[in-house]
Chains A and B, each alone.
Chain A
Amino acid sequence: MGGSNARGRNNVVLMGRAGRPAVMLANGFGCDQNMWRLVAPGLARDFRVVLFDHVGSGRSELSAWRPEQYATLDGYADDVLRICRELQLRQVIFVGHSVSAMMGVLAAAREPEQFGKLILLCPSPRYVDDTGYRGGFSRPDIDELLESLDSNYLGWSAAMAPVIMGNPGRPELAEELANSFCRTDPQIARAFARTTFLSDNRADLARVTVPTLVLQCSRDVIAPPEVGAFVHAQIPGSSLVILPATGHCPQLSAPEATLGAIAAFAAGPP
């Protein structure tokens, strides 16, 4: 542990010009940094764009994944801070989709000086209902998701692992894999799903002191409108923008509107 650098471990990819304000794009549970393919080039015109994969997904170093380290979102927030430090990013504009929004909240609450702004895309501080709070899901629903993960290895097999983990000798193999953007070791996917959907970060929202934008879709079964409103109400001074988009991934289903909202807030007054 700790031997490799964050750049390699998290498969950090840089776009845009050095010296411009840095926009860091963090994808949520499920796929990898390809989720940003429709908005990253647009952002790269005006910003230094930092893309990465969470350890355990995409082309990160799977060998760096430790169950105990990534059992909480704090472990993932550590990685975000490590990448910022290693790339010497200042006043980062952090865009976190889905569960990564809460990683940004945790990182910004811990080291606010690292962050210029936070943009939370379809955030939810807690997915499971609680007394006086509606997250949209029950505990059995989450177990059902774990079952879905089990029955959909999406072509993962032990034989494929070396290819996915990066086979320098035969890079073409990785290109051929269907579903590779969302391919994860089933064991890691289960653990990440549990960390994601069983976390409760409601109390962390009030600790955010950097300017924050909440981007909410008009119809999202994972982060319903009332959850977006909750996040907005809990983060002092935050703004809320409703995107005319359906589903949980507006960066894919409504890329222009998403790009416009991110760029406007990122370029706006601090």
Chain B
Amino acid sequence: MYEIVKAEKLNPDVTRLEIKAPHIAKRAKAGQFVMITVDEHGERVPLTMADISPAKGTVTIVAQEVGKTTRQMGKLKTGDKVFSLVGPLGLPTELHKYGTIVCIGGGIGLALMYPVVKALKEAGNTTVNIIGARNEKLLIYEDEIKSVSDEFYLCTDDGSKGHKGFVSDILKKLIADGRKIDMVYAVGPIIMMKVIANITRPYGIKTIVSVNPIMVDGTGMCGSCRIIVKGETKFGCVDGPEFDGHDVDFENLTARNKRYLAEEQISLRRFMGGN
């Protein structure tokens, strides 16, 4: 069992859990994930770490309430315990000095984007960060990301804060302005990552995306998370979660992530007190 040292709501649908796991915190690096199981009957859910604190011996995950398990996480309180926490899993973000990088995050992806941008900046890169959400209320990690930005853009779909529109609009503009971009890093909804990859492809700008396929064990044993990269089957859990966005088959990833929709609805209805 792993103790939650701090549980807090970032907005009505998003919960941040800081969990005691000194052994994981000691080894974890930006870009890696943990598998969390809330209770003995729970499913194993992969969540990328939003913060890693070796000093405090904690790792932090951020979950958006979508299905049963994430709603259950939303009800967890400081002092509660979770049944299982495994990590650090997956490969860490490759930290090089690329030059100028544009990091783009959307929705819940912003929580995962923060440690990556921080690490990339510490590695000597100039960071141009673009963050977005549907509306102002759903924006998370704004200040944290701003604090590691050389240049910062914010957009909301409804215009309630910052630029009205999509993160991709800003990227397009930066490219149109002839800005020198050495690498683009995108994390967020699949559709967002796909759009970003399509924008950068004709310019040959290296684009890394962080995917979140359905997993079971998270250690390379089952292949639930397989994803097609450059026509080859890769495992999100051990070969990823980061891949070259120009090589990822997003159609297949989208279809695969929908494969238990019906069952997810059953679980959710039951949890919400329906039948």
Whether chains A and B associate is no
Q: Which residues of A contact B (CB under 8 A)?
A: none
Q: Which residues of B contact A (CB under 8 A)?
A: none
